[in-house]
């Protein structure tokens, strides 16, 4: 004669199901981790694209006369230019020249060289050709 205790029978009956549920939980946790990682990657990519879009919008705006003159100077002088020379040419303080150079760099119209000088970019040349009178 086999004695049955209902609670033990219920526990033993659920063991295979519990193992299956544990395996599903592990699988779901792995999926959740993968989705979390993918979400972080997509958020970073979205932020990068947003910054690129903002930079693109800024570069399409009309330049102030001072910025256009500076970009035109870079266009006419394709060699590497330095802040000292830019400030001297336009007869402004180096801090003013730095400000204008920074504005053109933000728009992707000029770039910094390895020697800490500046040169016009392809985008800068295209802007000048489009807007030159």
Question: Cβ-count burial of 107 within 10 angstroms (0-12 exposed, 13-18 middle, 19+ buried)?
Answer: buried
CATH code of the region 65-131:
1.10.10.10
* Confidence (pTM): 0.55
Q: Which pLDDT score, from 0 to 100, does residue 71 have?
A: 95
- pLDDT tens digits for 67-82? 999 999 999 998 999 9
Q: What DSSP element (H or E) covers 83?
A: helix 83-90
Q: Which residues of 78-105 are buried (b: 16+ CB within 10 A; e: fewer)?
A: eeebbbebbbeeeebeeeebeebbebbe
Structural domain boundaries of the chain? 1-61, 65-131
CA-to-CA distance for 104 and 28, rounded, in angstroms? Answer: 50
Structure tokens at 53: 């879009």
pLDDT along the chain (133 residues), means of 10: 64 70 80 91 91 69 88 92 94 94 93 93 92 78
Q: Which pLDDT score, from 0 to 100, does residue 11 have?
A: 67
Q: Which pLDDT score, from 0 to 100, does residue 14 have?
A: 66
- pLDDT tens digits for 50-65? 888 877 665 556 788 9
């Amino acid at each position: 004669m086999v004695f049955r205790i209902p609670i033990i029978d219920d526990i033993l009956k659920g063991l295979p199901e519990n193992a299956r549920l544990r395996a599903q939980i592990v699988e779901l946790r792995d999926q959740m981790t993968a989705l979390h990682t993918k979400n972080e990657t997509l958020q970073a990519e979205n932020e990068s694209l947003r910054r690129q879009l903002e930079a693109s919008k800024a570069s399409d705006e009309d330049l102030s006369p001072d910025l256009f003159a500076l970009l035109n100077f870079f266009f006419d002088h394709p060699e590497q230019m330095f802040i000292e020379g830019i400030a001297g040419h336009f007869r402004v303080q180096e801090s003013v020249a730095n400000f204008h150079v920074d504005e053109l760099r933000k728009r992707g119209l000029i770039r910094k060289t390895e020697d800490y000088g500046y040169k016009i970019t392809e985008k800068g040349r295209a802007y000048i050709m489009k807007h030159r009178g």
